[in-house]
Amino acid sequence: MIIEKASEVLEKYQLCDHCLGRLFAKLGKGTNEKRGRAIRFVLNMERSKEGLPSFEKPAECELCHNVFDWIPGLIEKIKEAAGEVEFDTFLVGSRFPDEIREKEKKIWEEFGIETAEPINREFNRELGKAFGRATGKETSKNPDVVFIVEPYSGKIELQINPIYIYGRYRKLVRGIPQTPHPDFEESVASIICRPFSRATGGKCVFKGAGREDVDVRTLGNGRPFILEIKRPKRRKINLEEIAREINASGKVEVLNLRFTTPDEAERVLSTPHRKEYLALVLVEDGVTPKEAEEVAKKLTGLEIYQRTPWRVRKARTDKVRVRRVHHAEAKWRDEKHFELRLVTDGGLYIKELISGDKGRTKPSVSDLLGKPAWCERLDVLNVLDDERPEGSSETR
């Protein structure tokens, strides 16, 4: 069947060994070129036996125009396109003209061939193997770079995949936002991204797992964040050196820097994180140690119904969120102040939990005290990930 089918095709089309073998790519093992050469050899022996002329390999293939012979030159063009871009893994893709893909499909349909593979699939595979041998690089499903080749024009398109970096940051000072803002010279993001951009030659995009207000510090184990470095020219960077440079700012510290994957980055950013806070509460009408302790006792385990705070209503969807206070402790400071240490679900606005936000948060510390209370100072002490205080319920 194979020999008969191949004979029918070669009677009408002048094909190279690649294009002949590719018609039967799903049969047996080995390259299409070897398969085509073997089929041509056996077919010609049969024809010689019958006194018929051989089907010699054509000077130019009627289908691909000998595109596989151009692979060595294309490898040099790929190297030139890569330039100084640093990579260890790669993939090769290609764009073939419509007329070639349509002619190939026409041959399949004309001769009822169901064992073929498309020309671009073989070309990608052969070019990729040759480029790997020439450079010592390896192919990967998640490569550092992708080369898109237009073989007939010689055009090479380079797609550089991002680097993803996980870390945690501490914001040691008040008065800087998490991300750039026109009213501030710098931000947590700019302090962290600056050395990464220099080291990689790429564009650094900062993404925090939640955020804190400008006047709030983040201490303890730090807030998780992800950096996406787009189109990096250099991928082999020293994370410890970069951490030392960031930490020398005295404003922001980074911890646990490591390379990560897009999937893990998504999980880090989409997973709710419990948080531990320390708030200094101001009660102008005065507060006693007993009142402070009672508030903490009532808050522990309490569900809070919080409508989007008034101060962020333009930037957030206006809806009621239900969050839980898992644990609360109070420490009386003076006649008008007490400290409140809280462990809460992520997404609970602590300032409004204390003030009540004109009734938009219920219940609030103000409600529980029976008199107005305000958050005078706030720190994020820890971002707890999957840790749960003893005796607390599951997060939603």
Provide the residue ranges of all domains of the chain, joining segments of one domain with +: 1-160, 163-270, 274-384
Query: Mean pLDDT throughout 218-232?
Result: 97
For the stretch 135-193, pLDDT in tens is: 999 999 999 999 999 999 999 999 999 999 999 999 999 999 999 999 999 999 999 99
User: Edge-to-edge strands of the sheet including 89-94?
Assistant: 138-139, 89-94, 145-150, 155-160
CA atoms of 43 and 2, how far apart (whole Å): 9
Band of the pLDDT at 391, cuts 50, 70, 90? very low
pLDDT at 396: 23
Distance of CA 89 to the CA centre of its chain: 17
Catalytic positions are 213
Structure token pair of residue 27: 């049969």
pLDDT more than 90, % of the chain:
94
Phi and psi based region of residue 306 (left: phi greater than 0; alpha: psi -120 to 50; beta: remaining) = beta
- CATH 3.30.70.2510 describes domain 163-270: yes
Mean pLDDT estimate for the chain: 95
**Which segment of 199-208, 269-278, 293-302, 309-318 scores lowest on mean pLDDT?**
309-318
For the stretch 93-112, pLDDT in tens is: 999 999 999 999 999 999 99
Fold category of 274-384 in CATH: Alpha-Beta Plaits (3.30.70)
pLDDT at 261 over 50: yes
pTM for the complete prediction? Answer: 0.86
Give the amino acid at 256: N
**Which segment of 119-123, 238-242, 272-276, 335-339 scores lowest on mean pLDDT?**
272-276
Residues 6+ apart with CB under 8 A from 266: none
For 199, phi then psi, to 5°, come to -70, -35
User: Is 277 labeled as ligand-binding?
Assistant: yes
User: Is 166 labeled as ligand-binding?
Assistant: no
pLDDT at 301 over 60: yes
Domains 163-270 and 274-384 share a fold: yes
> Which of 108, 92, 192 has its CA nearest to residue 151?
92
> Which of 210, 178, 199 has its CA nearest to residue 244?
199
